[in-house]
Chain A
Amino acid sequence: MAKIAKIEVKEQNPLNSLQGFFKTLLEQEEISAILVPQHLPMKDVVMPTLVTDPEKLNGTDPLAPVFPMNAAKVVSRLTGKPLGGSVAVVLRPCEIRAFIELVKLKQGRMEEVVLVGIDCLGAYTNVDYRRFVGDDGAEATLRFCQNVLAGKSTAVEDFDLSPACKACEYPVPENADVLIGLVGVDINQQMLVKANTPQGEALLEKLKLPEAKEPDGRKKAIDSLVAQRVEYRDKMFAETTEATSNIEKLTSYLANCVNCFNCRVACPVCYCKECVFVTDVFDHEPTQYLRWAKRKGIIKMPTDTVFFHITRLAHMSTACIGCGQCSNACPNNIPVMQLFRTVSSHTQKAFEYEPGRSVEDDPPLSIFREGEFLELTGGKE
């Protein structure tokens, strides 16, 4: 049974209480730094910050409904090689899941990191968040949280949470070392703190937080939230399947792709230093283009856009954790996330693989067994 404690919330300001919690965390001997999103002073944007001074935590806002990047990428940078101290990293569930995928691919290490996950209530796209936030970031965050937890709509004017978040069935970071629970909790009174791992337990022990037990309504609230999202997701799957069901439709779907590769840069699990599509492999001879054009009389330029997306699906769809940063990054508003999640739902199921679940699960294409998938060759080996 996981150990459960609580952060008491004063003055109905959960954000302040969270900041207090982070301070206590940073004061612990074994924690050298904390990675946490903060409102940056220069511009009203929330970005991950690496903090060693407890006094510099005033702007932290892990609850803000925005994440301009999937922080798994920065955690990977921090932990790729020995760091010389432990960092507590405050992440969304999708970031934790992405990080776990990266660890499997040797792009990060679990050794010097404490994963602090917070129930995710969702986020707006970068563009929409700017319209949502107004002047006071912290206030906007609190407003957002209260609304969501009260069951009110997240839609504002003509925009709503990003489709990725609306379709996300993993709002609770079950695989964090320390989980901060919001859903089904009265956050004006308290927030739950749950240790899911021995490491988390040891840490929680030291923080000496008051003990608590899981509110009765929490499980139900989570289930209902997930149900809502699954409903949205399945609709999205159906629509995307329809929109890409043949090569002509897929071509239209990706028609305005300009080979900027922003999607793959933003993708937390696309871990290649340099994508193969930007290497000399795709440095075609000029004559080659002419040859292709001659074959059908017309080709689309730049070439290799559909090829790129299908290949990226082949490479990464089993590892896709659905954070939606690809769509966020696309300059031409191609719904990349929808395509990835739809295809991933099939490829992940085929290998019974749930990305980000545990570092123990091997990536599907790195293992192989005798006696599997016999149907591919008529039942015979």
Chain B
Amino acid sequence: MEDYQPTIIAFVCNWCTYTAADLAGTSRLSYPPNVRLIRVMCTGMVDPKYVIKALLEGADAVLISGCHIGDCHYMNGNLKARRRVKLLKELLPRFGFDEQRVKLTWIGASDGIQFAETITEMVPELKALGPNEVRNQMVL
């Protein structure tokens, strides 16, 4: 599939990664337009349901990104997120969702470059994986 453009759903925390994404945008850092940002207050509020939902509806990957450990505005939300991502990474690959389709990163508010790089790196990886099977299957 030459033209296949993966779609990444990114749950980004209000305090760090959303700021970084905004900085990447306003600094004109070029990165692929394959990401849809969903701003959440904290990565610690990302319910596993949201990730499962996104993948079942055809997202090619889900990125969860928040403050570095220790920087969390709410002290430890990112630590909670990390455990949930660990769970999802055990769970979802059982059903053929490649492990790479769920990604966790810590991107601080001033790391606009890192945000752009993260997306830039994800896109070819996802292209190599091919589209999420769900796109062609009847599931829900």
Contact flag (A, B; Cβ within 8 A): yes
* A interface residues, Cβ below 8 angstroms from B: 241, 244-251, 276, 292, 296, 298-300, 303-307, 310-311, 313-315, 317-318, 342-343, 346-347, 350-351, 364-365, 367-370, 372-373, 376-377, 380-381
Min CB distance B98 to A, Å, is 10
Q: Which of B48, B53, B79 is the one whose CB lies under 8 Å from A370?
A: B79
Q: Please state if A346 and B90 are interface contacts (CB–CB under 8 Å).
A: yes
Interface string of B38-63 (1 = CB under 8 A from A): 00000000001100110010000000
Q: Please state if B69 and A300 are interface contacts (CB–CB under 8 Å).
A: no
Please give me the residue from chain B that is nearest to A365 by CB atom. B83
Contacts of A247 in B (CB 8 A): 95-97, 133-134, 137, 139
Q: Is the interface of A mostly helix, strand, loop or mixed?
A: helix
User: Does B73 interact with chain A (Cβ within 8 Å)?
Assistant: no
Q: Which of A249, A307, A347 is the one whose CB lies under 8 Å from B91?
A: A347
Complex CA distance for A20 and B70, rounded to whole angstroms: 60
What are 7 A-B contacts with C-beta separation under 8 Å?
A: A251-B138, A310-B92, A346-B90, A351-B83, A365-B87, A370-B69, A381-B106
Known: A311-B52, A342-B94. A318 touches B138 (CB 8 A): no
Known: A314-B91, A368-B80. A296 touches B138 (CB 8 A): yes
Contacts of A311 in B (CB 8 A): 48-49, 52
Complex CA distance for A292 and B134, rounded to whole angstroms: 13
Count of chain B residues near A, Cβ 8 A = 36
Complex CA distance for A346 and B92, rounded to whole angstroms: 11
Min CB distance A318 to B, Å, is 7
Min CB distance A337 to B, Å, is 15
Q: Please state if B52 and A373 are interface contacts (CB–CB under 8 Å).
A: no
Q: Please state if A365 and B137 are interface contacts (CB–CB under 8 Å).
A: no
User: Does B36 interact with chain A (Cβ within 8 Å)?
Assistant: no
Please give me the residue from chain B that is nearest to A299 by CB atom. B140
Q: Please state if A368 and B52 are interface contacts (CB–CB under 8 Å).
A: no
Please give me the residue from chain B that is nearest to A241 by CB atom. B94
* B interface residues, Cβ below 8 angstroms from A: 48-49, 52-53, 56, 68-70, 76, 79-80, 82-92, 94-97, 104-106, 133-135, 137-140
Q: Please state if B140 and A314 are interface contacts (CB–CB under 8 Å).
A: no
Please give me the residue from chain B that is nearest to A306 by CB atom. B139
Q: Which of B76, B96, B106 is the one whose CB lies under 8 Å from A380?
A: B106
Contacts of B105 in A (CB 8 A): 377
Complex CA distance for A11 and B48, rounded to whole angstroms: 57
Min CB distance A252 to B, Å, is 10
Q: Please state if A306 and B56 are interface contacts (CB–CB under 8 Å).
A: yes
Q: Please state if A314 and B94 are interface contacts (CB–CB under 8 Å).
A: no
Q: Please state if A314 and B49 are interface contacts (CB–CB under 8 Å).
A: yes
Q: Please state if A347 and B87 are interface contacts (CB–CB under 8 Å).
A: yes
Min CB distance B51 to A, Å, is 9
Contacts of B89 in A (CB 8 A): 376
Contacts of A380 in B (CB 8 A): 106
Complex CA distance for A296 and B140, rounded to whole angstroms: 11
Please give me the residue from chain A that is nearest to B95 by CB atom. A250
Q: Please state if B48 and A314 are interface contacts (CB–CB under 8 Å).
A: yes
Please give me the residue from chain B that is nearest to A369 by CB atom. B79
Other than the given A372-B83, A373-B85, 10 more pairs (CB < 8 A) read A247-B95, A247-B137, A292-B140, A310-B91, A342-B94, A365-B87, A368-B79, A368-B83, A370-B69, A381-B106
